[in-house]
Amino acid sequence: MSAKEKLLEFIRQSGEALGFEELEDPDLDVEVERVEDVENPFYCTDILREETNELYRFCLMDSSLTLDVLIPSWFEQYRELEAEGIDEYDGEVLFVRKEGEAEGFWYLYRTETGEVGLFHSDYSLDDDGDEEEDEGFDGHPQNGKE
């Protein structure tokens, strides 16, 4: 399976988990970028959710690094994504999955309280695909840039 096919599968999985039908579109086409980080190379693509003017970046990591090493780099990547879109988008969300992990994914966004939160699809979402009420997720991530 190519990197593009894997990313599209990841995007559709995310759309299904979060209830965003436009991410489940079987005709969705994306451009894939390979990021050659020495410690953590990965493939990524950006999707604009026009409905909410949010930029979603999907990253498929092909690293064997542990989460305690990867998570700080994800926060750094999120801050870079946020800086790129600060004047253009109403919000940014970074979705991450390690290659080989078929179930679940991680995602980061700025919560209503202004903090960058790290969430996991298997632990942060209830069975209906909606984030638990105490997480401040009201149908799409908020980053306080209203």
pLDDT in tens, 90-133: 999 999 998 777 678 999 999 999 999 999 988 875 554 444 43
Domain for residue 144, yes or no? Answer: no
| 26-61: pLDDT as tens digits | 888 899 999 887 777 889 999 999 889 999 999 998
Domain for residue 114, yes or no? Answer: yes
- Boundaries of domain holding 122: 3-135
Other Cβ atoms less than 10 A from the Cβ of 2: the count is 9
Domain for residue 31, yes or no? Answer: yes
Tell whether the torsion through CA atoms of 3, 4, 7 and 9 is positive or negative: negative
Counted domains in the chain:
1
Domain for residue 100, yes or no? Answer: yes
Domain for residue 142, yes or no? Answer: no
Predicted TM-score (pTM) of the model is 0.82
Tell whether the torsion through CA atoms of 129, 85, 2 and 96 is positive or negative: negative
Burial environment of residue 136 by CB neighbours within 10 A (0 to 12, 13 to 18, 19 or more): middle
Whether 59 contacts 44, CB under 8 Å: yes
Q: How confident is the model at residue 138 (pLDDT cuts 50, 70, 90)?
A: very low
Other Cβ atoms less than 10 A from the Cβ of 72: the count is 10
Other Cβ atoms less than 10 A from the Cβ of 54: the count is 21
pLDDT: is 63 or 47 the higher one? 47
Query: What does the pLDDT read at residue 129?
Result: 44
What mean pLDDT do residues 63-74 have? 84
**Residue 2, helix vs strand vs coil:** coil
